[in-house]
């Protein structure tokens, strides 16, 4: 679908108003109880479900573009144009009362993120960008990312159980963190992948490692990071796509060092 920068900016502006509206029930529902048990120990709150319904209805009506959401699914991710929504990123944080929870919304064209919005309502942070830039934080344009060293950076790392199995076993994740601790003593576990990615785009974090996740965890942040000249790949260094179950993000320099570190740890299959 042919959209120029002005078209994308207009879509982001419309979506921003919709997320501002959704932030009201988001804040009102803090510490919401589990409503739907999902795979493993994951769950969704009533607020997740209500916000997804509200945002999907508004986006569809006001932009004419269908939505793929975490809770209810929706449009094909390989559609010419589709919104990808996570109504509450950091659900455990949200239910526990932590402010580290966000609404994530990415616009994906033919499988590639072209715009991203990340709302962190409790800290009143609003990140928006169209790929090609600029990135804006609460409407203020932020600079592109400078080259930096891993040793000088904070790095966001996703939470995990050391005994977990799967494509990226817990023992591999532990080995990565052990190796990372020798290069960088400033690791952070926010428990919200979308916030880690937004903070990487805003140069609060130098990089982020998401060992596992879904397209709704990553799409918005990928757009934000790419808008300021950052790099997002999978854990093996392949360019991130909507099919990737992981994400390795960083600014120039930091991403390269993180990727070298992961490669030095070895293949997750060997753990």
For residue 175 the two structure tokens come to 């080995």
Residue 33 has pLDDT above 50, yes or no: yes
Report the distance separating Cα 104 and Cα 95, nearest Å.
17
pLDDT of residue 241: 93
Considering the domain architecture, whether residues 158 and 116 belong to the same structural domain is answered as: no
Considering the domain architecture, whether residues 94 and 175 belong to the same structural domain is answered as: no
What total number of domains does the chain contain? 2
Binding residues for Mg(2+): 70, 86, 88-89, 217
Among 97, 120, 141, where does a domain finish?
Answer: 141
Task: Quickly count: other Cβ atoms within 10 Å of residue 168's Cβ.
Answer: 20
Residue 257 has pLDDT above 70, yes or no: yes
Considering the domain architecture, whether residues 16 and 130 belong to the same structural domain is answered as: yes
Considering the domain architecture, whether residues 18 and 126 belong to the same structural domain is answered as: yes
Q: What is the pLDDT of residues 92-129, one digit of tens each?
A: 899 888 999 999 999 999 999 999 999 999 999 999 99
Q: Is the dihedral of CA 108, 112, 114, 117 positive or negative?
A: positive
pLDDT of residue 42: 47
pTM: 0.93
Considering the domain architecture, whether residues 99 and 191 belong to the same structural domain is answered as: no
Considering the domain architecture, whether residues 125 and 185 belong to the same structural domain is answered as: no
Q: What is the pLDDT of residues 52-99, one digit of tens each?
A: 999 999 999 999 999 998 878 888 898 899 999 999 999 889 988 899
Q: What is the pLDDT of residues 150-182, one digit of tens each?
A: 999 999 999 888 988 888 999 999 999 999 999
Q: How confident is the model at residue 2 (pLDDT cuts 50, 70, 90)?
A: low
102 to each of 5, 15, 111, 262, how far by Cα in Å?
26, 15, 23, 28
Report the distance separating Cα 65 and Cα 27, nearest Å.
26
Binding residues: 70, 86, 88-89, 217
Report the distance separating Cα 86 and Cα 144, nearest Å.
26
Q: Is the peptide bond before 134 cis (omega within 30 degrees of 0)?
A: yes
List, edge to edge, every strand of the sheet that includes 112-120.
73-74, 67-69, 82-89, 102-109, 112-120, 125-130, 135-137, 140-142
Considering the domain architecture, whether residues 134 and 17 belong to the same structural domain is answered as: yes
Considering the domain architecture, whether residues 176 and 112 belong to the same structural domain is answered as: no
Picking from 65, 135, 49, the residue whose alpha carbon sits closest to that of residue 107 is 65
pLDDT of residue 34: 52
Q: Which residues are CB-contacts of 217 (< 8 A; sequence separation ≥ 6)?
A: 86, 89, 104, 193, 194, 210, 247
Report the distance separating Cα 157 and Cα 224, nearest Å.
18
Report the distance separating Cα 259 and Cα 271, nearest Å.
18
> What CATH number is given to the structural domain containing 235?
3.40.190.80
Per DSSP bridges, beta strands 125-130 and 112-120 are: antiparallel
Collapse the DSSP code of 177 into the 3-class scheme (helix H, G, I; strand E, B; otherwise coil) and give the result: helix
Collapse the DSSP code of 267 into the 3-class scheme (helix H, G, I; strand E, B; otherwise coil) and give the result: coil
Considering the domain architecture, whether residues 182 and 76 belong to the same structural domain is answered as: no
Report the distance separating Cα 154 and Cα 11, nearest Å.
32
Considering the domain architecture, whether residues 72 and 49 belong to the same structural domain is answered as: yes
Q: How confident is the model at residue 252 (pLDDT cuts 50, 70, 90)?
A: very high
Domain region containing 51: 5-141
Report the distance separating Cα 152 and Cα 207, nearest Å.
11
């Amino acid at each position: 679908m042919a959209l120029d920068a002005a078209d994308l900016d207009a879509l982001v502006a419309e979506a921003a108003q919709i997320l501002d509206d959704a932030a009201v029930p988001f804040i009102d529902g803090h510490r919401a109880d589990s409503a739907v048990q999902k795979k493993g120990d994951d769950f969704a709150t009533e607020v997740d479900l209500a916000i997804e319904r509200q945002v999907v209805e508004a986006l569809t009506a006001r932009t004419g573009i269908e939505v793929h959401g975490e809770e209810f699914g929706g449009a094909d991710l390989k559609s010419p144009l589709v919104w990808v929504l996570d109504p509450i990123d950091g659900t455990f944080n949200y239910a526990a009362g932590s402010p580290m929870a966000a609404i994530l919304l990415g616009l994906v064209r033919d499988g590639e993120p072209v715009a991203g919005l990340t709302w962190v309502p409790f800290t009143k942070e609003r990140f928006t960008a169209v790929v090609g830039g600029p990135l804006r934080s609460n409407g203020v344009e932020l600079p592109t990312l400078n080259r930096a060293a891993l040793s000088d950076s904070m790095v966001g790392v996703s939470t995990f159980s050391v005994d977990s199995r799967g494509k990226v076993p817990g023992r591999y994740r532990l080995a990565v963190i052990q190796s990372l601790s020798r290069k960088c003593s400033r690791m952070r576990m926010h428990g919200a992948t979308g916030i880690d990615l937004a903070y990487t785009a805003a140069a609060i974090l130098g990089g982020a490692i998401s060992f596992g996740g879904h397209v709704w965890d990553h799409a918005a942040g990928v757009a934000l990071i790419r808008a300021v000249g950052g790099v997002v790949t999978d854990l093996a260094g392949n360019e991130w796509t909507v099919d990737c179950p992981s994400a390795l993000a960083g600014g120039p320099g930091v991403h390269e060092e993180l990727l070298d570190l992961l490669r030095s740890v070895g293949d997750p299959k060997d753990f």
